[in-house]
Copies of this chain bind each other. A is one copy, B any other.
Amino acid sequence: MKEVSSRSIKLMDGFWKKRQDIVKNVTIKSVYDRFFDTGRVEAFEMKWKKGDENQPHIFWDSDIAKWMEGVALFDSITPENEEKIEHLIDLIEKGQEESGYFNIYFTVVEPEKRFQNRTEHELYCAGHLMEAAVEYYRLTGKDRFLKVMCKYADHIEKVFKIDRSAAFVTPGHEEIELALVKLYSVTGEKRYLELSKFFIDERGKTIEHTYGGFTDGLYDQCFLPVREQETAEGHCVRACYLYSGMADIARIYDDKELKNACEMIFNDIVNHKMYITGGIGSTHIGEAFTIPYDLPNRTAYTETCAAISLAFFAHRLQLIEPKAIYAEVIEKVLYNGFLSGISLDGKSFFYENPLEIIPELRERDVCIKEKPHSPITERLEVFGCSCCPPNVIRFVAAVGENVYTYDEDTVFVHQFMSGEASFDGMKITQETDYPLSGKVTIKYEGPAKTLAVRVPSFCEDIENENGYVYFDIEDGMETEIDFGSPVYFVESNPLVHENCGRYAVMRGPVVYCAEEKDNGKCLRDICIDSSAEIREEYDENYSLPVIYLKGTRRKKNHSLYYKKSDERDEVIVKMIPYFAFANRGEGEMLVWIQAK
């Protein structure tokens, strides 16, 4: 399979174009300003000295790097942003050592600890800087940053692979594996690909050191050699960045064992450990996967970056083999568990994306000062650990990369977004307001091929082969298809104990939720009549309709316990797309709702 990069696709009006515009016009500046305010930009000047305030954090390089990459992934750049990036490159160039080494924290805070502490995000930062350099080069053709990062990559190769002089073998936070593949893809330098493969092959040959308190090897995926791993374990973002790198290497080297491991791990996620929103990470403790079917809603960790990383992984598997499940998972992430991470106005973010909010329970432990962790209930413009906001920028900027793949005979259409894609002598134009409606018009220009269009799983009317419908196409042909946009109820496996008796309301690929703002408190008490008529009302805020459903709820009662009564008040329940929750102040929110 071949990739159609996001640079080959120009989105036109539609759901994702609107999001891209918000990110381009609002988020990029907002995130930069917050990073500037918090000293992340200044940190690149490497002027911090012991005793100064605002000590650079081990992951600040990566925050800025992801911002740079995000800016560069769009099809154009403003002079202001180019100036900001050039300034940052000046500082990186200046800060880079003769050896090629570059890291803020390990230059100004603990220079004696270079490549000594596996868990300290050193290679993770390097990876993100490489990704940024690649995309800045791709956008502008300017190779100064790329050269700086190649020099750093050469240094890493020397230290880790040739001299083996670092205190550890593989990074505690993966990322460099997939970054090195990108560096290879733009430079053609095979040493970078082999260095990536080296990090992947070495992982888990022995259990390497991680933070105290974590089970040996699970937290950072070194419990077994990667080819023997069958389950998704540990810190979700670390895990899926690794799995993404593994999938890249499996594809490029046609490594069947590695591909098999990737598939088993992916199936473990999708069949046992993924929220209906495409979110992953059932616990904040280690930001980690837990056990199969353990998917608590109120305390879901489901970090925005983790959803993104799962889409990265699925995207790379899709490049090996087009299976509908990969595109389905990417779609889940896109419209739900990733998109919930950014506010509608593009300025504020969630790090965690729970599927249920009951604000007062955050403060339930009244008799202790420091309350146990629970997800925040209002979006913030910046976090202490602010990996998510710039990750959102780059994911939205490159969202088009998920739409097509192709091989000699077939062009696959995996996602539905209005836009023009030009690649390899072909041009595909999609016209659609998906997911508002399910109508998609696909116009093709190019040599005769087979067109394989994914049929979303909610669409049960279109006959398909393993999730794709196939057409023979010729130059100038136009295909129309309508998946519909049904509202339907979804249940989860009975082993997901928490969801028993509860259902998710979906419309097309979009998960809906009820909010206190529309429905009052005690959302968990509402019971929807799933056979009653459903009313939709288009809401410009969401580019989608809100849904009105008939239901009942119990009458107010002042007793704590009382005999079962069947008296219930009839109510109309308003539900909005899950991705838009908590955009109207703090309040209860619920995805898994009672229905009969």
Contacts and interface: CB of A to CB of B under 8 A. Distances in A.
Interface in A280-335: 282-283, 285-286, 288-291, 293-294
B493 A560 contact: yes
A520 to B, nearest CB: 10
Number of copies: 2
Contacts of A490: 561-564
Task: Give chain A's interface secondary structure class.
Answer: loop
B594 A557 contact: no
Nearest to A495: B522
Contacts of A501: 501-502, 524-525, 527, 594
B370 A290 contact: no
Interface stretch (A213-221, A436-444, A475-483, A578-586): A213-221
Interface string A235-261: 100000000000000000000000000
A463 B528 CA distance: 39
Interface residues of A, number: 72
A563 B489 contact: yes
A571 to B, nearest CB: 12
A554 interface: yes
A532 interface: no
Interface string A88-127: 0000000000000000000000000000000000000000
Interface in A521-553: 521-522, 524-525, 527, 530, 553
Given A502-B501, A560-B493, A214 B565 contact: no
A290 B364 contact: yes
A47 interface: no
B368 A493 contact: no
Contacts of A372: 285
B285 A365 contact: yes
A596 B596 contact: yes
Given A491-B564, A501-B502, A561-B276, A367 B215 contact: yes
Given A500-B522, A596-B596, 18 more contacts: A213-B368, A213-B369, A215-B369, A219-B367, A219-B368, A271-B558, A286-B365, A286-B367, A288-B367, A289-B366, A291-B361, A291-B364, A488-B564, A490-B562, A491-B564, A497-B525, A501-B502, A503-B564
13 contacts: A213-B368, A214-B367, A214-B369, A215-B368, A219-B368, A233-B367, A288-B367, A489-B563, A490-B561, A492-B561, A494-B554, A494-B557, A495-B521
Closest 7 CB pairs of A and B: A489-B564, A500-B524, A494-B525, A500-B525, A218-B367, A290-B364, A494-B522
Interface of A: 213-215, 218-219, 233-235, 270-272, 274, 276, 282-283, 285-286, 288-291, 293-294, 358, 360-361, 363-370, 372, 488-498, 500-504, 521-522, 524-525, 527, 530, 553-554, 556-565, 594-596
